[in-house]
Amino acid sequence: MKNFVSHNQASQLLHNKFVVVLGDSIQRAVYKDLVLLLQKERFLTQSQLRTKGEMSFEQDCLIEGGCLHEMHNGTAYREVRQFQSNHHLVRFYFVTRVYSQYMQSVLEDFRQSLKPDVVIINSCIWDISRYSRDWTDDYKENLHRFFEELKQILPEETLIIWNLTMPLGEKIKGGFLVPEIEHMASHLRYDVAEANFYSGTLADAYKIDAVDFHFHFRFSLHRRSKDGVHWDNVAHRKITSVLLQHAAEAWGVALPSSQAASDRRPMRTDHNGHRAVSHSGYHGNEHIKQDDFTSRSDFNFEPYRQNPHQDVLRNQYAPRHTYAPYCPRRRDRYNYY
C-alpha cells in the first residue's frame, strides 16, 4: 500500500463529483469511510462499522429501506443512503445480487436522473451463497447482463470500478449466512476466489476497471474481523485510499499535497520545472494511530502505460475527460484539458 489519502486530498479530488457505491455490507462500510473522509480526518468507529440502516450517519440521510422498514437478513433487504454537501454527492445502494429486478430499478435511476461520475461496485458473496448451490452459470450470466446494461446507460466519462471480493476466513459468520447455507461456510472462501476470476475477466472484457482487493489484502488478514467476513477501520481507509488513487490515475491528475493544502506553501519543482507533489505517507506501520498523517514521501504519479498500478487488473484503454478543480494536472496529459 502506498499512502493513505487525506481529507484535503479526497475533498479536492472529488470536488463537484457524484459518487455511487453499490454492494453489500462491506461496500456500505466503503461508502461510510468515504463520507467520513470527505468531512474530517478521522477513522470509522467499531460502532459505525457494525451499524446498518440507521436514520443518519455523519450528516448523511437514509432515503429508503433500513430502519424505515423491517430490518432483516433476507435477500429483499433494502437500504439507500445519501450524503450531500455543497460540492460532494455520495449515494449507496445495498444490493444482494449483481443483476435482479431491484438492480434494474437502480439502473433506471441512472438512466432517468443525474449520471454519476464514479461508480464503485461489488456483488459476490450473496450471489454465490443465497440463491443456488450451482451458482457459476447464473453469476456469469448476471455479470454479463449487468455490465452490458451499465455500459449502455452511463456515459463514457463515468469511471466504473469493480471491486474484487476480499478474502474470507476459514470460519465465517454473518448476516448473509443463514442456517440453511451454513454448510457452505467451510468452502465459501474458495468459491469467492473462483467468482473473482470470473468477474475480473468479464470486467476486463467490458473495459471496466477491476481493483483486486483479494490480492491486495492477502497479507493483511489481521485486519479482518472475527466474523471472517468484515474488516476493521484501518483496512477500510486503505480501501478508500486505493480507490481514490486509482481515480486520480484514471483522470490523469495528481492528488493535491496534504501539506500544500493545509499551509499553502509553494510547491517544489523538479529539474524540468514541473511541479513535484508531496503525499502523506503510509510506511507499513499496521499499528497506525488515527491521526498519524504526518510522515510524507515525495514522488510523482506515472501514467498507467509506464507504471501499472499493482492492484488494478487492467489499464484504461483511453484517457478520461473530467473536471477536477484544485488538482494539479499530470504533465503528460495536458493536451486533454
Convert the pLDDT of each residue in 14-36 to its tens digit.
Answer: 999 999 999 999 999 999 999 99
pLDDT bin (cut points 50, 70, 90) of residue 73 is confident
Residue with cell 449487468: 146
pTM for the complete prediction?
0.79
- State pLDDT tens for residues 218-277: 999 999 999 889 999 999 999 999 999 999 999 999 886 654 444 433 333 344 444 333
Comparing C-alpha atoms, which of 206, 195, 196 is closest to residue 132? 195
Three-state SS for 206-271 is CCCEEEEHHHHCCCCHHHECCCCCCECHHHHHHHHHHHHHHHHHHHCECCCCHHHHHHCCCCCECC
Comparing C-alpha atoms, which of 280, 266, 209, 195 is closest to residue 2? 280
Classify the C-alpha dihedral 282-287-292-294 as positive or negative: negative
Helix axes 25-37, 233-251, angle to 10 degrees: 70
Percent of the chain with pLDDT over 90: 64
Comparing C-alpha atoms, which of 249, 221, 248, 246 is closest to residue 235? 221
- State pLDDT tens for residues 129-184: 888 888 999 999 999 999 999 999 999 999 999 999 999 988 887 666 666 666 56
pLDDT at position 34 is 98
Q: Is 62 helix (H, G, I), strand (E, B) or coil?
A: strand
Q: Where are the domains of the chain?
A: 7-251
290-308 mean pLDDT: 34
124 close to 95: Cβ distance less than 8 angstroms: no
pLDDT at position 273 is 43
7-251 has CATH 3.40.50.1110 classification: yes
pLDDT at position 288 is 34
